């Protein structure tokens, strides 16, 4: 297995692990700084990042933009020279403003999924920030790579391939999830190989390497080896980093991970318009039983959200979870969450994946 790191624009990633961005409030400056310090890539999620700011309810964009600096500074305090960036979901309202702010702050990289970040190259023009789209199917990889080459004459600085075992929102239809999910998860390896062949075409065209990380269910040394043997340069990991001391989530959130039963991991419909994987908290049980929540206030988080038809507000549910309120909280998780058994340090998680 290749154990070397990879080059990300001008920086060298010593440990080929990208810590996946996790909103709301799960991967902030604490976790991202710790992962960057350990030699990986630390990602701060911008999704409603300002939820602890006093003016969040009145002016969410202002609060979020301010919090981006606070969390970035926090990560930089821990890791002045490591690789620190932002995860900015394409589906977010004010996507362009978050991207611009991340560049102004000097972020090393922006990772964007939850939709295809078609205009990301235009928004980072003039900055050194590396850009990394997340794709899940060869169809989306083809569309995006062709579009960027044609419209912006550029290729990604890093490509994230996120599979069906991942946490949070998933880039698959319910039917695709059934086809790729357990016990058929190896079927997805064919898709990974097809995506790798597609990116090789563009590498040749531009005579430039595109490092690739594979995400979704990577929870052990064996899983890292499998990804590397397929031809990846590294992995992106979310779930394993939630049960770390440095993770920014509440202790109650981490305890949900440590106590979950495999049967309590559910695929849900999200107002984002994509399926998501989550733990069945008391709140989720009510929602899955058809309860519809009264939405008191819109936090303007998504570009497209049909307030009349959604059963709950995703911002309220994710903020409640981040704060530890499981009676009202949505807890996203990866398919292998039930294997997490103890609270660890980031360095221990990285050792268990790489050594």
Ligand X SMILES: Cc1cc2nc3c(=O)[nH]c(=O)nc-3n(C[C@H](O)[C@H](O)[C@H](O)COP(=O)(O)O)c2cc1C
Could you tell me the smallest distance in angstroms from the CB atom of residue 113 to ligand X? 4
Calculated CA dihedral for residues 160, 78, 4, 166, nearest 10 degrees: -30
User: In whole angstroms, what is the distance from residue 103 CA to residue 178 CA?
Assistant: 38
Give yes or no for residue 166 binding ligand X (CB under 6 A). yes
Here's the x/- map for ligand X, 129-148, by CB under 6 A: it reads as -----x--------------
**What tokens were used for 176?**
């695709």
Residue in 5, 25, 30, 238 binding ligand X, rule: CB under 6 A: 238
Could you give the angle at the alpha carbon of 111 between the alpha carbons of 106 and 112, nearest 5°?
125
> According to the binding rule CB under 6 A, does residue 26 interact with ligand X?
yes
Q: Are 286 and 278 in contact (CB under 8 A)?
A: no
3-class DSSP state for residue 81? coil
What's 261's DSSP letter? -
| Interaction pattern, residues 68-107, with ligand X; x per rule: CB under 6 A | -------------------x-x------------------
CA 88, CA 5: separation in Å to the nearest integer?
A: 24
Among positions 117, 315, 334, 353, the unique one binding ligand X when judged by CB under 6 A? 334
Q: How far is CA 92 from the centre of its chain?
A: 13
Q: How many residues form the binding site for ligand X (CB under 6 A)?
A: 29
The footprint of ligand X on residues 181-220 (CB under 6 A) is: 215-218
Please identify, using beta-carbon distances, which residue of 21 and 42 lies nearer to ligand X.
21
Query: Does residue 115 touch ligand X according to CB under 6 A?
Result: no
Applying CB under 6 A, the span of 22-30, 73-81, 183-191, 347-355 interacting with ligand X comes to: 22-30
- Of the candidate residues 8, 15, 17, 22, the single one contacting ligand X (CB under 6 A): 22
Asked if residue 20 binds ligand X (CB under 6 A), the reply is: yes
Stretch that binds ligand X, among 20-28, 49-57, 102-110, 301-309 (CB under 6 A): 20-28
Q: Would you state the structure tokens that stand for residue 164, as one six-digit string?
A: 């069906």
Count CA atoms closer than 13 A to 7's CA, side-chain side: 5
User: Quick check: helix, strand or coil at residue 273?
Assistant: coil
165/265 with CB nearer ligand X: 165
Q: Which stretch binds ligand X (CB under 6 A): 72-80, 138-146, 178-186, 231-239?
A: 231-239
Tokens linked to 101: 């702010």
* Binding status of residue 40 toward ligand X by CB under 6 A: no
Residue pair 84/106 in contact (Cβ under 8 Å)? The answer is no
Per DSSP bridges, beta strands 168-169 and 275-279 are antiparallel
> Cβ 294 to ligand X, closest distance in Å?
25
Scanning 135-143, 194-202, 300-308, 331-339 for contacts with ligand X by CB under 6 A, the matching segment is 331-339
The least distance separating ligand X from the CB of residue 276, rounded to whole angstroms, comes to: 9
User: Please, what is the minimum distance in Å from the beta carbon of residue 163 to ligand X?
Assistant: 8
The two structure tokens encoding residue 303: 């570009």
* C-alpha span between 222 and 209 (Å, rounded): 25
Q: How far, CA to CA in Å, does 256 sit from each of 2, 261, 282, 342? A: 34, 10, 11, 12
Cα-to-chain-centroid distance, residue 233: 18
Question: Of 89 and 124, which CB lies nearer to ligand X in the complex structure?
Answer: 89
Question: Regarding beta strands 234-237 and 265-269, do their DSSP bridges make them parallel or antiparallel, or are they unpaired?
Answer: unpaired
Q: Does 165 bind ligand X (CB under 6 A)?
A: yes
Binding test (CB under 6 A) with ligand X, winner from 6, 86, 98, 332? 332
Q: Which residues bind ligand X (CB under 6 A)?
A: 20-23, 26, 45, 47, 87, 89, 113-114, 134, 162, 165-168, 215-218, 236-239, 332-334, 336
């Amino acid at each position: 297995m290749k154990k070397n790191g990879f080059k990300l624009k001008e920086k060298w990633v010593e440990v080929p692990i990208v810590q996946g961005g996790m909103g709301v409030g799960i991967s902030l400056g604490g976790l991202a700084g710790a992962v960057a310090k350990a030699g990986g890539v630390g990602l701060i999620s911008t999704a409603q990042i300002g939820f602890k700011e006093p003016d969040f309810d009145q002016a969410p964009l202002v609060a979020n933009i301010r919090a981006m600096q606070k969390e970035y500074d926090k990560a930089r305090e821990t890791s002045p020279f490591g690789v620190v960036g932002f995860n900015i979901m394409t589906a977010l309202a004010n996507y362009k403003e978050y991207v611009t702010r991340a560049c102004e702050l000097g972020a090393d990289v922006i990772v964007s999924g939850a939709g295809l970040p078609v205009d990301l190259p235009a928004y980072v023009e003039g900055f050194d920030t590396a850009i990394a789209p997340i794709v899940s199917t060869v169809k989306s990889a083809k569309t995006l790579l062709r579009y960027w080459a044609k419209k912006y004459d550029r290729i990604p600085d890093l490509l994230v391939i996120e599979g069906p075992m991942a946490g949070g929102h998933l880039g698959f239809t319910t039917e695709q999830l059934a086809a790729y999910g357990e016990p058929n998860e190896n079927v997805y390896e064919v898709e990974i190989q097809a995506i790798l062949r597609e990116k090789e075409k563009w590498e040749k065209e531009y005579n430039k390497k595109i490092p690739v990380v594979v995400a979704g269910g990577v929870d052990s040394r064996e899983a890292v080896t499998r990804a590397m043997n397929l031809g990846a340069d590294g992995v992106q990991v979310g779930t394993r980093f939630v049960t770390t001391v440095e993770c920014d989530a509440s202790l109650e959130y981490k305890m949900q991970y440590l106590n979950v039963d495999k049967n309590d991991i559910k695929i849900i419909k999200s107002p984002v318009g994509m399926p998501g994987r989550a733990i069945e908290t008391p709140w989720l049980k009510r929602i899955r039983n058809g309860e519809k929540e009264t939405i008191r206030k819109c936090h303007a988080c998504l570009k497209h959200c049909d307030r009349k038809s959604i059963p709950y507000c995703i911002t309220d549910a994710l903020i409640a979870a981040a704060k530890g309120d499981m009676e009202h909280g949505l807890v996203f998780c990866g398919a292998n969450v039930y294997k997490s058994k103890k609270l660890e340090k980031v360095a221990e998680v990285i050792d268990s994946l790489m050594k």
